[in-house]
Amino acid sequence: MKKRLISAIAAGALCLAPEIAAAQNSSIACMYMLLRVYKKELEHCKVTLPRVQEQRYSRMRANLEKFIRANAKGDPEKMIAGIARSEERAIAGLSSCNSEDFKLARLSMDQLLTSDNENVVNQNLKIPGNPQAGPCG
């Protein structure tokens, strides 16, 4: 169920202007969760990101975590830990590395890790606010 929700979020975002829609239409917490879940799935299936994407992932993850820590309404570490548990649920729900869900994860990471999307995310992170504000679905 959770996997279908994540897939639906990403598919909906990718139907618009992919890199911009994903960043502008999702909460910061949702963007952070998607990055972590998709990365975990790639690692599970032994798919290595190109170096430039790996570097972008690391920067985006660090920036999103910094924003969450600075702006969370509750305990930011609890929020981050809850999102981290999403990784394990995603792996448990992944039927195979050849599944449509996994293909979507690979496509989504390619879209999320563009320089344009990183720029949009960074612009969004300049505006303080609740990291959970906005849709995730």
- Note the pLDDT of residue 106: 93
In a domain, 21, yes or no: yes
In a domain, 103, yes or no: yes
Q: Name the residue type at position 69.
A: R
Cα(88)–Cα(106) distance, integer angstroms: 17
In a domain, 22, yes or no: yes
pLDDT for 87-97, tens place per residue?
888 888 888 99
Domain of 99, in residue numbers: 2-125
In a domain, 136, yes or no: no
Which residue matches tokens 């169920």? 1
In a domain, 115, yes or no: yes
Q: How many domains does the chain have?
A: 1
- Note the pLDDT of residue 46: 95
> Does position 11 have pLDDT exceeding 90, yes or no?
no
In a domain, 51, yes or no: yes
In a domain, 53, yes or no: yes
In a domain, 131, yes or no: no
